[in-house]
Amino acid sequence: MQNHTLFSKLQPIADARQMLDQAGIDPFGTSMQNIISPTEALIDGRHTILVGTNNYLGLTFDQEAIEAARTTLQQLGTGTTGSRMANGSFSLHRQLEIEFAEFYGQRDCIVFSTGYLANLGVISALGNSRDVIVLDADCHASIYDGCKLGGAEVIRFKHNNPEDLAKRMRRLGERASQALIIVEGLYSMLGDLAPLNEIAAVKREHGGYLLVDEAHSLGVYGTTGRGVAQLQNCEDEVDFTVGTFSKSLGATGGFCVSQHPELDLIRYASRPYIFTASPTPSTIASTRVTLRKLRDGKHLRENLFVRAAQLHAGLAAIGYDLASEVSPVIGITIKGKENALAFWKQLLESGAYCNLVLPPATPSRNPLLRISLSAAHTEQQIEQVLEIFKQLAPMLEQQAA
């Protein structure tokens, strides 16, 4: 028997990586040589349409945001070189927090350096070893990691199943009144929405607190883009809303807003907040611009859903197995890892880039081709992507035969 070494645990990853290298496939190391626009890039020398960026509103090239970042970069430098608790809290950080709180109509906001750290920091501060967290089984890894860091007891309920949530809350008895329920607004793998009204009804019956991660739904749903809770008219039922800058806002960072005055105390209890350098001033400056454009971006949301409907209908007509109804995230189920890898490679070589997601990262045992649309996509670009998928469809038919 081979002796255990520090690196033994990495051997399965090395074996999988070798298999990909031998096949000439590297879905996790695709390098974009040049970003031409929010929807186009140069990859391996090929002009490529990007349909896997999470750039939902297409604001990464917004000129006003770029100018705000450039000006702030010149005025305040390249970085904060410290955490918010040390020397890294600038007036811009607090200004953005106030603007987020006003945008959501909430008491206060905490800004984090990434969306991952927002979940990690808030959840770990709210739930320790004496607490229980009840979460949707399909929640993001950052949510699970936040639970693990805090040490709370974790109970999972079936994905988007309020009845199963209610059953597990009943089993908690009196503990349910202090349980933290965690769900997402738009689930990033399949593109399906949480039934927040029904989940809120369970909370009203059994007690507890509700945290909604609107990372992928911010800017996408609701009259002013606040997310699925606004779309379903149940924002008053949500105790904590967590989100990210790295999707619709076109930057890097995260936030949490809440009506609870205790939110401010999380700053003093959250290790990821206390011990992580704060976001760069230029990032905060550009995000202040894109937050305003997100709020006023009804036309962007409308165009996003026009393009999503166009692509969804086209893929369904070709015969692809789509994972959900129309949303800015379209998951295509592919049976078999080898089939998915080969198809993804051909897709990229044909000029379209999307995300390849393999089990166990997928909600099922099947790989997914994950597409995310942008308000910046044109009708012509979507037609080009559909033509590529049409040309490659026989690959899957041959593989199934």
pLDDT at 236: 97
90-100: pLDDT as tens digits: 999 999 999 99
What average pLDDT does range 36-59 have in this prediction?
Answer: 97
Query: Nearest Cα to 189, choosing from 339, 333, 44?
Result: 333
Residue 11's contacts (CB-CB under 8 Å, 6 or more residues apart) are none
* 395 confidence band (pLDDT: 50, 70, 90): confident
* 16 confidence band (pLDDT: 50, 70, 90): confident
From CA 185, how far away is CA 291, in angstroms rounded? Answer: 18
pLDDT-wise least confident of 12-16, 63-67, 271-275: 12-16
pLDDT at 220: 98
From CA 124, how far away is CA 26, in angstroms rounded? Answer: 34
125-151: pLDDT as tens digits: 999 999 999 999 999 999 999 999 999
Model confidence at 335: pLDDT above 70: yes
Query: Nearest Cα to 100, choosing from 80, 118, 124?
Result: 118
pLDDT at 2: 63
Residue 379's H or E segment, with its range, is helix 379-400
From CA 229, how far away is CA 196, in angstroms rounded? Answer: 7
Residue 169's contacts (CB-CB under 8 Å, 6 or more residues apart) are 134, 176, 179, 181, 202, 205, 206, 208
Q: What is the DSSP letter of 214?
A: -
Record the tokens describing residue 377, joined without a space: 């996509």
206-263: pLDDT as tens digits: 999 999 999 999 999 999 999 999 999 999 999 999 999 999 999 999 999 999 999 9
Model confidence at 401: pLDDT above 60: no
* 104 confidence band (pLDDT: 50, 70, 90): very high
pLDDT at 23: 75
What average pLDDT does range 154-163 have in this prediction?
Answer: 98
69-80: pLDDT as tens digits: 999 999 999 999
Query: Nearest Cα to 293, choosing from 81, 128, 106, 58?
Result: 58
Record the tokens describing residue 67, joined without a space: 């100018």
Cα–chain center distance at 264: 24
Crossing angle of helices 141-150 and 115-126, in 10° steps, is 40
φ, ψ of residue 46 in degrees (nearest 5):
-105, 135
pLDDT at 284: 98
* 29 confidence band (pLDDT: 50, 70, 90): confident
What average pLDDT does range 324-328 have in this prediction?
Answer: 93
pLDDT at 398: 61
What average pLDDT does range 17-30 have in this prediction?
Answer: 79
What's at 176, amino acid-wise? A
> In 68-187, which ranges are E strands?
108-112, 132-136, 153-157, 180-184
Per the document, the length of the chain is 401
Mean pLDDT across the chain, nearest whole number?
A: 95
Name the residue with higher pLDDT: 196 or 357.
196
pLDDT at 160: 98
- Complete DSSP assignment for 327-364: SSEEEEE-SSHHHHHHHHHHHHHTTEE-EEE-TTSSSS
Model confidence at 1: pLDDT above 70: no
pLDDT at 399: 56
Q: Which domains does the chain have, with CATH numbers?
A: 12-57+298-400 (3.90.1150.10), 62-295 (3.40.640.10)
